[in-house]
Structure 1
Amino acid sequence: MTRLIRQSGRLPALIASILLLVIIVVVAASVPEDRIPARRWGLLLEAAGAYGIVVFLSVGTLATSIGLPRQLVAFIGGLAYGLLPGLALSLMAALSGCHLTVQVSRRLLRHRVERRYPAFIERLSRLLRHDTFVKVLILRLQPLGTNLLTNLCIGFTDVSYRKFLLASGIGYIPQMLVFVLLGAGVRVGEETQGLISGLLVLISVFLGVGLYLQHKQRQKKAILDSSD
């Protein structure tokens, strides 16, 4: 695996991304509960019942649609609602935000961008035309991905929207689960949640790298087959 990663030419960036995200997780897990402002938000949402859920979904959707971290939404979801409900609600908010951004991009920005940068749109469409699911999944699994930019670019293309949303939902889960665990850990006071979160970070990153390398190998094979 290490040899293949080096061959991809992305080892330094990958190491930096892993270290940064692990540091964030460790720091978040070690901060005292009374020093976390988000904890108060979580407690207020939990106390508000059904109204709090509506507020959480609405604010989470708007926040992720403009590029604010879905990890923060997941953390607050874990604080307010615990592990599984927090994951489900934060994932719903993140996907709704993703949908909102794509629709705004497709309906309000696409024609302007197509007129001004036709060559760019053509290259982008050609890039995403094949293996859409795998390519989007790889982007979503990376620890420091450009979520807003990805959503905007998808709105400029005619790629399968179903594949895009499915890949986004699956790719969101590992990292969002990390921060839901951190939030739920603060909520119930379980220190082992930090260790589980760090392990999930590594699994998420290496899964993304593995998919990327498999995709590159398929591309090379296709080029060789077409040249025969």
Structure 2
Amino acid sequence: MHVNVGWRAAALAVLPLAAGGIAYVAIPGVPEALHRALAILTTSDVTEAVAALRDYLGGFGIWAPVVSAALMVFQSIAAPIPAFLLTFTNGLLFGWAWGAALSWSSAMLGAALCFWLSRAFGRPAVEKLAGGSRALDTADLFFERYGSASILIARLLPFVSFDIISYAAGLTPVSFRRFLLATGVGQLPATLLYSYLGQSVTGSIRALFWLFSITVVIAIIGWLVGPKLFTRPANGGIR
């Protein structure tokens, strides 16, 4: 599906990409810094990755929040990188409150950019950015199953790809306002928790991440299935 969008909105989606491309080509040191960040963020050991990312961001001094935000937006658009690594590290570097604010706002910016890129250029371009059609096909089924609640549900599930849902939402008639509200509310609990854990602990990050994921999954299943169980006719049962 392709939803028509005005040229101003399309320009707002393209300009940040153009600015990033120019910076990558024209500013010395940017390519090397980006490649180093990607190497850290794709490290298999989560604890090691967070420690390395802390040192990496800390090396930018007062510009560390800007670099962190840029990496969050970048991973939202084109890179299959787990955003929770940045959220943990922001909590570790800036404290849970400022770290959460930085992670939440930069993730919102990345989500908005994905939404408008999708809406401006349509599915073929999105498939290239998302790495193929399979992920979008899965997202389509998710939207078909849960309708307008899909965005909120997906944001509450830490293992659901953040950028794929943003891209997929842009291909639907859902309004940007509704998309932004569901994204902001849905990602807030995980952002606050990961920021707090990042400030407090670093030794058991992987275990805590999966514990939180499992808890959220159980809550979502209960929310979706519970009402159906209680509204099922009680033929021959206790009334």
Q: TM-score, with normalisation over the residues of structure 1?
A: 0.60
The aligned counterpart of 2:105 is: 92
Query: Taking structure 1 as reference, are residues 41 and 102 closer, same or farther at Cα in structure 2, changes over 3 Å only?
Result: same
| TM-aligned CA deviation for residue 46 of structure 1 | 4.2
C-alpha distance after superposition, 1:93-146 (max 9, x if no partner): 211111111111111224879xxxxxx99xx69x56x962x3211112123213
Q: Quick one: distance in 2 between partners of 1:172 and 1:151?
A: 12
The aligned counterpart of 1:144 is: 159
Amino acid at match of 2:222: G
Q: Quick one: distance in 2 between partners of 1:103 and 1:79?
A: 32
C-alpha contact 1:60 1:97 (8 A) present in aligned 2:
yes
The aligned counterpart of 1:163 is: 178
Q: Quick one: distance in 2 between partners of 1:112 and 1:200?
A: 34
Query: Taking structure 1 as reference, are residues 180 and 146 closer, same or farther at Cα in structure 2, changes over 3 Å only?
Result: same
Deviating more after overlay: 139-148 vs 176-185 = 176-185
Choose from 45, 51, 55 the match for 2:67.
55
Choose from 64, 69, 78 the match for 2:76.
64
Q: Quick one: distance in 2 between partners of 1:105 and 1:136?
A: 15
Amino acid at match of 1:140: R
How do 1:73-112 and structure 2 match up within 5 A?
A: 73-110=86-123
Choose from 214, 217, 221 the match for 1:209.
221
| TM-aligned CA deviation for residue 186 of structure 1 | 4.0
Q: Secondary structure at the match of 1:136?
A: helix
Choose from 195, 198, 203 the match for 1:183.
198
Deviating more after overlay: 71-80 vs 175-184 = 175-184
C-alpha contact 2:118 2:125 (8 A) present in aligned 1:
no
Q: Quick one: distance in 1 between partners of 2:111 and 2:177?
A: 12
Q: How much identity, in percent, do the aligned residues show? A: 27
The aligned counterpart of 1:173 is: 188
C-alpha contact 2:151 2:169 (8 A) present in aligned 1:
no
Q: Secondary structure at the match of 1:99?
A: helix
Amino acid at match of 2:183: S
Q: Secondary structure at the match of 2:111?
A: helix
Q: Quick one: distance in 2 between partners of 1:37 and 1:97?
A: 22
C-alpha contact 1:79 1:180 (8 A) present in aligned 2:
yes
Unaligned runs of 5+ in 1: 1-26, 114-119, 222-228
| Larger proportion of helix | 1
Unaligned runs of 5+ in 2: 1-44, 127-135, 233-239
C-alpha contact 1:78 1:181 (8 A) present in aligned 2:
yes
| TM-aligned CA deviation for residue 41 of structure 1 | 2.8
Query: Taking structure 1 as reference, are residues 105 and 86 closer, same or farther at Cα in structure 2, changes over 3 Å only?
Result: same
The total of aligned residue pairs comes to 175
Q: Quick one: distance in 2 between partners of 1:59 and 1:194?
A: 21
The aligned counterpart of 2:131 is: none
